[in-house]
Each structure stands twice: as structure tokens, then as C-alpha cells.
Amino acid sequence: MAERRKIKEKETKRKKVIVKERAFWSMVLSAIEVYRLETLGLLLGLKGEETFIIEYAIPFQTAHKAKTWVSPNERRASRVKKIVHLLPVDVIGDYHSHTEIGDSKALPHPSGDDIADMEEGRVYIILAVNESHKTVGWHNNTDGSISGTLGDYHIRITAHEYIKQGRHYKNVEIICPAAVGLKGCSLRG
């Protein structure tokens, strides 16, 4: 099955998602802020045929946070969505974090529940946050993700889209010049 998915992925070109600097920082900082709990937010921007552009990432501050799942307060979510209609951008997807639980490392792949919540034509970002004592500069990975360290955390950011046929997901390549090139600075000073 995994092999077949891989072949399928090669057949069609990967879409791209351009993550603007302010969106990168809101996602990363909201994920670090509540490390050990998951964070969730909306992605606002523009959608083209082959490319998504994320202008803003808006964290849900009242998301009900638990170690293994996050659910936004529904009424607040719809209120935010109503206001978003006033902006010259659309809701093009969402993001959430995965964090380390006990000895199990946070993984950057969508869970079964994550896939069940996906809709075609949107972009979904996952930030896998793990504690790290090494410093790693930010870089692109061959699977389209970006990763690096900030302070005591290693963060890998992956983007996905839902493919209705076959009910599976496909990686979307992240382009984030603001992140790539960051030296993986230590916040310890």
C-alpha cells in the first residue's frame, strides 16, 4: 500500500505552498508556546491551480487543548470565519501541532483523524515539535517539508492536500525563504 502511494505521488506533480514570514512565525510561536499541548489555527491566503500562498496563520486561542487532540470552540471558529470574509484573503486550510508524548516522538504525518477531517482543495500543515539539545539550521527536506531548531525545540513542518480518489493525502512542497537560512539559534543566550 505504502509503495503504491509512493508511485502515485511520482505520477502527479507536487503542489507548492508559499509561507509568508509572519505566518511562519505565528505557527511556530503558537506551537512552542503551548508545547506538550497541541495548537490549532486557520491558514489565510490565496489559492491558485498549483500553488497556495499563506499570508496569515491565526491560532485559535480558545481551542480546547489536550495532549492528543485539539478541537476549536465551534462558535468562535465560525465567528472568526465570518470576520475573515471581510479580508481580501480566504481560509485556505488549517494547521496544528504534534508534540512529544512520553517517549514517543512527535511525527510530522497526518493521523487517521487528521485525514478524516481533510477536504479537497485545501492545504493542511502539521508542525511536529520535539525537544532537542542540538542546534540545526533551517533547511528544506526531500519530502517537501522544512525543519530546524528554535531554542530547545526541533520543529519539522509538513504540508498536505487531500486526494479524494483513494482517500489519501499527498505532500505539498513548502517554500518559506524566511525560515530556510535561519541559523537554528539557541534561545538560551
Find the residue with minimal CB distance to Zn ion: 114
Q: In the complex with Zn ion, which residue's Cβ is closer, 71 or 111?
A: 111
Give first-to-last CA distance, the chain, whole Å: 47
Q: How far apart, in whole angstroms, are the C-alpha atoms of residue 31 and residue 131?
A: 12
Cell 522544512 identifies what position? 146
- Distance of closest approach, residue 106 Cβ to Zn ion, in angstroms: 9
Q: How far apart, in whole angstroms, are the C-alpha atoms of residue 26 and residue 125?
A: 13
- Distance of closest approach, residue 126 Cβ to Zn ion, in angstroms: 6
Q: In the complex with Zn ion, which residue's Cβ is closer, 55 or 160?
A: 160
- Distance of closest approach, residue 156 Cβ to Zn ion, in angstroms: 13
Q: In the complex with Zn ion, which residue's Cβ is closer, 9 or 114?
A: 114
- Distance of closest approach, residue 117 Cβ to Zn ion, in angstroms: 9
178 in Cβ contact with 54 (< 8 Å) = no
- Distance of closest approach, residue 87 Cβ to Zn ion, in angstroms: 26
Q: In the complex with Zn ion, which residue's Cβ is closer, 135 or 143?
A: 143
Collect all residues with Cβ–Cβ distance below 8 Å to 163 and sequence separation of at least 6.
120, 169, 170
159 class by beta-carbon count within 10 Å (0-12 exposed, 13-18 middle, 19+ buried):
buried
Q: In the complex with Zn ion, which residue's Cβ is closer, 113 or 120?
A: 113
Residues lying near Zn ion in the complex (CB under 5 A): 111, 114
Q: Residue 104 CB: number of other CB atoms within 10 A?
A: 8
